[in-house]
Structure 1
Amino acid sequence: MSSLHYFGVRHHGPGCARSLREALLALQPDCVLVEGPPEADALVPLSIAEDMQPPVALLSYCPDEPGLAVYHPFAEFSPEWQAMQWAARAGVPLRFIDLPRAIDFGLEKARKEAAAEAPEGAPSHTGDAELSEDSPAAAEDDPLSWLARAAGFEDGEAWWNQLIEERGGADALFPAINEAMVALRQELGDPARGAEHAQRERLREAHMRQCIRAAQKEGFERIAVVCGAWHLAGLQADVKVRDDAALLKALPKLKVQVTWVPWSHRHLASASGYGAGIQSPGWYEHLWRHPGPPLERASAWLARIARLMRERDLDCSSAHLIEATRLAEALAAMRGRPAPSLEELQEATCAVLSMGDDAVLTFIRDELLVGDRLGQVPASVPTVPLQRDLERAQKSLRLKPEALQKTLDLDLRQPTDLARSQLLHRLNLLDIPWGSVATVGRSARGSFHEVWRLQWQPEFALRVIEASRWGQTIAQAASARTVDRCTDLQRLDELARLVDEALLADLAPAVEAATRALQDRAAVNGDTVQLLSALPPLANVFRYGNVRGTDAALVAQVLDGLILRAAIGLPLAASALDEDAANALRERMLAAHKAIGLRDSAEQTSAWQRALLQLAEWVGVHPLLQGLSRRLLLEAGVCSTDDVARAMSLHLSRGADPAKAAAWLDGFLNRNATVLLHDASAWGLLDAWLATLKEEHFLAVLPLLRRSFSAFESSERHELSQRASQGTTARPVATDLGEWDAGRALLPLPLLRQLMGLGA
């Protein structure tokens, strides 16, 4: 007669894991049944492979629909992981008995199809199935809260941690858990989480009961059943076989594949959104690795905090540690607890080690409470060819995936660094953002350096699988994905950026396809704004392509054509604009002007300058753009200072509308005070214009002027104030004043000097 032994656990709990390991050693079962995906049975032996390092996760996915996927994470302190370790080393069969992912995915697909076919306005119940265990509604209905309040704890989480996870192994632990959870479920029933959630739980428990019966029929004598503690009552319920069979009959199924993937402590935390997550994975790991007396464990934890503080040059002496330990013990005694828990240790740390500074607790949380540990899986794990190619590239280029963010400075003159850059750019094209390149400093275009910020995320494993439909190597997949995107993108600037990205990734077929798509779109697109927006990325490709070893000449013809078309359409696009539209076009004009300068072609530059001259002189153009055009022409040497003086005199004359004059001045200054500081005539014209404004006009243009001058550097504003205090040195503006009496003109000077603080 088979004997069943139930072990109700928390999915990630060091106390449960330690007690389960001891219980299995004592029981020596001949079959172990674990709550988990049955499709992963063949992967259990890999749990004891030499290169397997938790945290890891079982990734179950549908190869026909990669969007259907789910992770089953395991840490070193997960009871299910310890069960796998024991069974694999003992040679005992271990089977996962949860509802097959094939059925789960089939039901999920059917639910989505039904929701898509439902008439608009029909009630939806999709939210019921998405309610996670750590959501507010779930916490409110937490059955453990009843036991916690009875024992004097604030919530079920603190009660479970204190009595189960933070204690050593206990012989009577699992019978006590069984008795408590069965009684709670009989009294309270299942938490109300929606009809779909309740139906799925019934299916899961029905399948687990069927698997237990099957193991009994095979003749196993000592069967260990490891499951979530809440399922204990359901698995031991007296349910007829035919009822379970009827419940599971004719359910939809999809093809499923399963593999091991690395996981991280950060993704085990409940803050990541993981429904079965825990608050402090790093603390649980500490509990697992320090099974000794509780006081020694607490001292070791505080010592780790002290090490972190000293690494950051924060004061933390031995006396601090002694006082923090004493305070934690005193707090635990006041609360009737046998030893300090994480709560007491955190309070003692804040009070003694950080002197009440919560900022210190921030890095303690990141480094210790959560941690940056990233697991590792052996090379023998089944996976798609694309993943294999990525692993080969990571190994040959010495780019190890890490959960901790790090900075990588690449010298593109070196072949290895250039290959690293190309790999990271290709992954970005596949929507696998392992790294992001800095846009300032040493990564600026034109340098031989790229500075990347790298941080590997466990979910990238699924994205690699999803991207495998594009090819079996990173280069093939990135190229095919880029070519496919060319048909979806309609805006010229988006296609231009795609050309740039493909060149940086060194994907010649993708560059050719994106360039051809850009040409086709540009041929039928008359939107000048889009033409202007497409110039900067293409100019960067042309100007700096050789630095990165790419053939930038592929886009030269396209770039030249876009510049000419943008120059032709610019005057019309700049006409009849309001202030917001003019400001938006101003930004694009500045970027395009810089891009045309990078192209450095006489024909294109001449066409662009002719367009700017038209803007500067056309009546219907917004004054902001007229002023900007005049400034750009001045800097290019096309307009002389006399031309600028005449234009400024015209736009800042007494008869000009003050608001339009201020807008012209804003465009001309272009957030740069160089002209005012070095051109005396411009300074004098501005001074004369302001002096002739009436009070109501001055008040109307003052906000516009303040906005223009606020964009200057503080050093520029300081120089302007000094120049204003010294008076203008501009050449006099020709006016008909009649006879000039120099003696009378000198009379008010002493008073004016006194009023302006200029001294005698």
Structure 2
Amino acid sequence: MAESSLPFHFFGIRHHGPGSARSLLGALEALQPDALLIEGPAECETLLPAVAEQQLQPPVAMLVYSQDEPSRASFFPLAEFSPEWVAMRWAVQRGLPVRFMDLPQATEMALDKEAQASREAELAEPEKNETAAPPEDVAEGDEAVLAGSGAPHPDQRYARDPLDALAEAAGFADGETWWNRLVEERGGDSAVFEAVGMAMTALREELPNGLRGERYALREERREATMRQTMREAARAGFQRIAVICGAWHVPALQAATTAKADAATLKGLPRLKVQATWAPWTHRNLASASGYGAGVDSPGWYAHLWRTNALADPTDTEPGPRFIRPSRAAAWLARVAQLLRSHDLDCSSAHIIEATRLAEGLAALRAQTEPGLPELHEAVRTVICMGESAPLRLIQDALVIGDVLGSVPPDVPLVPLQRDLEQQQKTLRLKPEAASKIVALDLRKDTDLARSHLLHRLRLLGIHWGTRAADQQRNRGTFRESWDLQWQPELVVRLIESSRFGSTVETAAATRVLQSLTPQTTLPEIAEAIDDALLAQLPPLVERLMNEVSARAAITGDVQQLLRALPALANVYRYGSVRQTDSTLLAGVIDQLVLRAAIGLPNACLSLDEEAARGVQKLALLADDAIGLRDFAETTEAWQRALQVMAEADTCAALLRGMATRLLLDAKIWDEQRIGQQFAHNLSLGVAPVDAAAWLEGFLNRQALVLLHDDAIWGAVDAWLAQLGEAQFLQVLPLVRRSFADFSRAERQQLGSRAVRGQSSGAGAAAVVGPTGAGTGGATALDAKRASLVLPTLRTLWGVASER
């Protein structure tokens, strides 16, 4: 800045760094500033009073979203070890003024919206895109940024993380490791900020913002201009000792000689949107780099451990304790590792911990470290506790290095009504949001569990997947049980805010969203599934509306396949209606109406179909038959079976479907053996093309071997048909028949083979002969009296019968 003599004290920190936070805390105690300027969006200043409340427990995030487009939102996470959080709490507790000095999110979002519209316009004009230069890849720095389209810097090795350049010079693998070793694990000295400022000044001279593209450079220029303007306003307000807390990368730019006129020109004419800010719970998992968060850290759980263990030795800590005992962060960490492993039934004794601590400290000494870091602790655990195995380390990585900590916010934090309603229901139903995955088994016979199920299904209709259906861990197949895998994600807050346009309560919002999703193009099966969802979510008004919609569309549609697709979902709802305490009268009427219309149109819909189309209708008809069986209403069932009889006897119907219809009539005992025999004689006779005969047989068997194993007449008919085929016909039919038999289970195929062998060894030949009606008149297998007499002594002993003399 041109006004370099102003009373500013710069503290270049790393977001979410415990060493930076500890050093900053000591520096603030020494400086005793009268104002703090912190890198952050200006809209979040209204959230600062909540920092003093004990119920605001990090990790939390400042959420800024557009009032007109809630899906356009940004999170600014804070952990207990984040320097910004430490500075905010330190200042608020002392009543000092705090201001955020970054570019407002109202402007950021407006610029992002304009850029998005520009990209969409370019995509809509392909002829222009052919000559346009390809865009650069998105670059990630300490925040999520948009890549520019300018010429890249000659040295792209440091585009992702400029600290890699310093790490390479110091002999470290990457910038993360370098900063972690020198600052985060050794923090506590306020002099580090001067050294960091000098390092960043040299680094920015070699690696300017243009390294990541022109668009990124322009964005950083606007941000730093906003920061300098805020600093000037603080100076004009009369503050004498102003602490400027920002990312270390920005320190040289804020100290540079830049005029207020130049900064004003940079920020002139920028657009703005209407935005709203609030607090939202966050998790360590979402702080991790693996989550995709640009400013994330590799090990938030480990950083939290560093912060807590070193806080005990910090001179500013007010908790009493023996000053002569320095806490060992290595021993404390390994104690947590032991507790975790034991909870998973893995062996870890006190001797293991002692030896692992010694090994970790020895490795640190060999590597010129004052205390073991995470790499040394991992190596010690793998060597001493895991005996060289790496699998337990994955458990440690997930549960401790990253962790499942979920923050909390005070109840008086500004929330949209939909969020309030959800929080109230979570409290009433005792469903606490947790960051860790948790299986919850619900007994729908209990009122509380039923209400929980309704809530989770309503959230699912809103696209808020707090819970997903899971396999029942108690292996209870009863329809009254339902299991959910619950895991709260911070992003769900944005979904809640976005869904608030549908209603102020979860119930009304879910119903409204489903209704608004219906269009004239929505198919009957989709509406039927929506009815199922609405019943699961206990939304009676919505169910009635959807029922009326199904009834109205069924009355005018001639698409039989749509009618058949809609039946399974409705029948499933009808089957479990008593468990869900729903009124099934209206639903039964809708099912009956769909079945009657489908039965009328089904025979005509099965005419002149090719193989693929026939298989599609077969699948739908089988599902519909099961659904009609669940309904179990005489008039409806009779109408369906009349349609099957027409299909089975219509030569113009696809052979596959005729065979399927015959089988369904056999299973329902509508046709007796003589009628079934006639169908076999008609469809497996020499006059029928072998391909059609094989298709008819495939439809009749329906991937089930039991009818062949237990019905001698059908066995004989199939055997006689195959026996009468000539060689050319047999070769033509063989792949088709083999495909039908391939769907049988291995045990069924073995039983079929055994039966075929028994038939041949008995001397009866094919085991059956097709009679005049086509039904198999099975020949009796000859009895071997000599072999049978061998079991008689055993039978007499079992039954207590005296032997014959």
Q: Partner residue of 1:617?
A: 649
Q: Do the aligned partners of residues 697 and 368 (structure 1) sit closer, same or farther apart at CA in structure 2, a change above 3 Å counting?
A: farther
Determine whether 1:262 maps to 2:281. yes
Q: Partner residue of 1:752?
A: none
Alpha-carbon distance between aligned partners in 1 of 2:474 and 2:685, rounded to the nearest angstrom: 46
Alpha-carbon distance between aligned partners in 2 of 1:435 and 1:488, rounded to the nearest angstrom: 31
Alpha-carbon distance between aligned partners in 2 of 1:508 and 1:735, rounded to the nearest angstrom: 59
Aligned residues: 738
Determine whether 1:32 maps to 2:58. no
Q: Partner residue of 2:599?
A: 567
Q: Do the aligned partners of residues 23 and 689 (structure 1) sit closer, same or farther apart at CA in structure 2, a change above 3 Å counting?
A: farther
Determine whether 1:447 maps to 2:476. no
Q: Do the aligned partners of residues 334 and 509 (structure 1) sit closer, same or farther apart at CA in structure 2, a change above 3 Å counting?
A: same
Q: Do the aligned partners of residues 446 and 618 (structure 1) sit closer, same or farther apart at CA in structure 2, a change above 3 Å counting?
A: farther
Whether the 8 Å CA contact 1:77–1:284 is kept in 2: the answer is: yes
Q: Partner residue of 1:74?
A: 78
Please report how far the alpha carbon of residue 322 of structure 1 lies from its aligned counterpart in structure 2 after TM superposition: 4.2
Q: Do the aligned partners of residues 301 and 578 (structure 1) sit closer, same or farther apart at CA in structure 2, a change above 3 Å counting?
A: farther
Residues 256-655 of structure 1 aligned to structure 2 (within 5 Å): 256-291=275-310, 296-438=328-470, 447-487=479-519, 490-653=522-685
Q: Partner residue of 2:769?
A: 733
Q: Aligned to 1:132, which of 140, 163, 170?
A: 140
5+ unaligned residues in a row in structure 1: which ranges?
Answer: 737-744, 747-760
Whether the 8 Å CA contact 2:36–2:244 is kept in 1: the answer is: yes
Report the RMSD for the aligned CA atoms in angstroms. 2.9
Whether the 8 Å CA contact 1:536–1:591 is kept in 2: the answer is: yes
Query: SS in structure 2 opposite 1:257?
Result: strand
Q: Partner residue of 2:225?
A: 206
5+ unaligned residues in a row in structure 2: which ranges?
Answer: 148-155, 314-324, 773-780, 783-805
Q: Aligned to 2:190, which of 153, 171, 184?
A: 171
Instruction: Render the CA deviation track for 1:628-653: whole Å, top value 9, x for unaligned.
Output: 22222211111223333333344444
Q: Do the aligned partners of residues 661 and 191 (structure 1) sit closer, same or farther apart at CA in structure 2, a change above 3 Å counting?
A: farther
Report the residue type matching 2:264 in the other structure.
A
Report the residue type matching 2:13 in the other structure.
V
Q: Partner residue of 1:56?
A: 60
Higher deviation after alignment, 542-551 or 348-357: 348-357
Whether the 8 Å CA contact 1:29–1:222 is kept in 2: the answer is: yes
Alpha-carbon distance between aligned partners in 2 of 1:579 and 1:335, rounded to the nearest angstrom: 72
Report the residue type matching 1:238 in the other structure.
A
Q: Do the aligned partners of residues 467 and 638 (structure 1) sit closer, same or farther apart at CA in structure 2, a change above 3 Å counting?
A: same
Report the residue type matching 1:114 in the other structure.
S
Whether the 8 Å CA contact 1:138–1:193 is kept in 2: the answer is: no
Instruction: Render the CA deviation track for 1:153-202: whole Å, top value 9, x for unaligned.
Output: 11111111111112241232111111101110012212533332221111
Please report how far the alpha carbon of residue 714 of structure 1 lies from its aligned counterpart in structure 2 after TM superposition: 4.1
Alpha-carbon distance between aligned partners in 2 of 1:706 and 1:23, rounded to the nearest angstrom: 82
Instruction: Render the CA deviation track for 1:83-109: whole Å, top value 9, x for unaligned.
Output: 111111111111111101111122122
Alpha-carbon distance between aligned partners in 2 of 1:650 and 1:139, rounded to the nearest angstrom: 79
Please report how far the alpha carbon of residue 500 of structure 1 lies from its aligned counterpart in structure 2 after TM superposition: 1.7
Determine whether 1:47 maps to 2:51. yes
Q: Partner residue of 2:118?
A: 114
Please report how far the alpha carbon of residue 662 of structure 1 lies from its aligned counterpart in structure 2 after TM superposition: 3.5
Please report how far the alpha carbon of residue 705 of structure 1 lies from its aligned counterpart in structure 2 after TM superposition: 4.2
Q: Partner residue of 1:157?
A: 176
Alpha-carbon distance between aligned partners in 1 of 2:735 and 2:364, rounded to the nearest angstrom: 62
Q: Partner residue of 1:65?
A: 69
Q: Do the aligned partners of residues 205 and 672 (structure 1) sit closer, same or farther apart at CA in structure 2, a change above 3 Å counting?
A: same
Higher deviation after alignment, 670-679 or 349-358: 349-358
Report the residue type matching 1:467 in the other structure.
S
Alpha-carbon distance between aligned partners in 2 of 1:296 and 1:697, rounded to the nearest angstrom: 84
Whether the 8 Å CA contact 1:432–1:463 is kept in 2: the answer is: yes
Whether the 8 Å CA contact 2:472–2:483 is kept in 1: the answer is: no
Whether the 8 Å CA contact 1:442–1:450 is kept in 2: the answer is: no
Please report how far the alpha carbon of residue 670 of structure 1 lies from its aligned counterpart in structure 2 after TM superposition: 2.1
Please report how far the alpha carbon of residue 398 of structure 1 lies from its aligned counterpart in structure 2 after TM superposition: 0.8
Q: Aligned to 1:4, which of 1, 4, 8?
A: 8
Report the residue type matching 1:93 in the other structure.
P
Higher deviation after alignment, 71-80 or 408-417: 408-417
Instruction: Render the CA deviation track for 1:310-347: whole Å, top value 9, x for unaligned.
Output: 22222333444344444444544454444432223223
Query: SS in structure 1 opposite 2:303?
Result: helix
Determine whether 1:22 maps to 2:6. no
Instruction: Render the CA deviation track for 1:211-261: whole Å, top value 9, x for unaligned.
Output: 011111111111111111111122112111011111111211111100001
Report the residue type matching 2:302 in the other structure.
W
Q: Partner residue of 1:187?
A: 206
Alpha-carbon distance between aligned partners in 1 of 2:476 and 2:548, rounded to the nearest angstrom: 28
Report the residue type matching 1:46 in the other structure.
A
Q: Partner residue of 2:793?
A: none
Residues 676-687 of structure 1 aligned to structure 2 (within 5 Å): 676-687=708-719
Please report how far the alpha carbon of residue 19 of structure 1 lies from its aligned counterpart in structure 2 after TM superposition: 1.2
Higher deviation after alignment, 516-525 or 143-152: 516-525
Q: Aligned to 2:162, which of 125, 134, 143?
A: 143
Q: Structure 1 vs Structure 2: percent identity of aligned residues?
A: 54
Residues 655-694 of structure 1 aligned to structure 2 (within 5 Å): 656-693=688-725
Query: SS in structure 2 opposite 1:727?
Result: helix
Q: Partner residue of 1:749?
A: none
Q: Partner residue of 2:775?
A: none
Please report how far the alpha carbon of residue 540 of structure 1 lies from its aligned counterpart in structure 2 after TM superposition: 2.3
Alpha-carbon distance between aligned partners in 2 of 1:139 and 1:477, rounded to the nearest angstrom: 48
Alpha-carbon distance between aligned partners in 1 of 2:250 and 2:653, rounded to the nearest angstrom: 74
Report the residue type matching 2:88 in the other structure.
M
Report the residue type matching 2:259 in the other structure.
K
Report the residue type matching 1:273 in the other structure.
G
Please report how far the alpha carbon of residue 305 of structure 1 lies from its aligned counterpart in structure 2 after TM superposition: 2.2
Please report how far the alpha carbon of residue 139 of structure 1 lies from its aligned counterpart in structure 2 after TM superposition: 5.8
Please report how far the alpha carbon of residue 429 of structure 1 lies from its aligned counterpart in structure 2 after TM superposition: 1.4
Determine whether 1:217 maps to 2:236. yes
Q: Do the aligned partners of residues 142 and 722 (structure 1) sit closer, same or farther apart at CA in structure 2, a change above 3 Å counting?
A: same
Please report how far the alpha carbon of residue 599 of structure 1 lies from its aligned counterpart in structure 2 after TM superposition: 1.6
Q: Do the aligned partners of residues 377 and 677 (structure 1) sit closer, same or farther apart at CA in structure 2, a change above 3 Å counting?
A: same
Please report how far the alpha carbon of residue 130 of structure 1 lies from its aligned counterpart in structure 2 after TM superposition: 5.0
Q: Do the aligned partners of residues 295 and 87 (structure 1) sit closer, same or farther apart at CA in structure 2, a change above 3 Å counting?
A: closer
Alpha-carbon distance between aligned partners in 1 of 2:477 and 2:513, rounded to the nearest angstrom: 25
Report the residue type matching 1:67 in the other structure.
S
Higher deviation after alignment, 433-442 or 160-169: 433-442
Higher deviation after alignment, 173-182 or 190-199: 190-199
Query: SS in structure 2 opposite 1:66?
Result: coil
Alpha-carbon distance between aligned partners in 1 of 2:493 and 2:618, rounded to the nearest angstrom: 43
Please report how far the alpha carbon of residue 140 of structure 1 lies from its aligned counterpart in structure 2 after TM superposition: 4.6
Q: Do the aligned partners of residues 538 and 663 (structure 1) sit closer, same or farther apart at CA in structure 2, a change above 3 Å counting?
A: same
Alpha-carbon distance between aligned partners in 2 of 1:665 and 1:31, rounded to the nearest angstrom: 87
Q: Do the aligned partners of residues 58 and 638 (structure 1) sit closer, same or farther apart at CA in structure 2, a change above 3 Å counting?
A: same
Determine whether 1:230 maps to 2:262. no
Alpha-carbon distance between aligned partners in 2 of 1:699 and 1:547, rounded to the nearest angstrom: 54
Higher deviation after alignment, 96-105 or 429-438: 429-438
Whether the 8 Å CA contact 1:34–1:225 is kept in 2: the answer is: yes
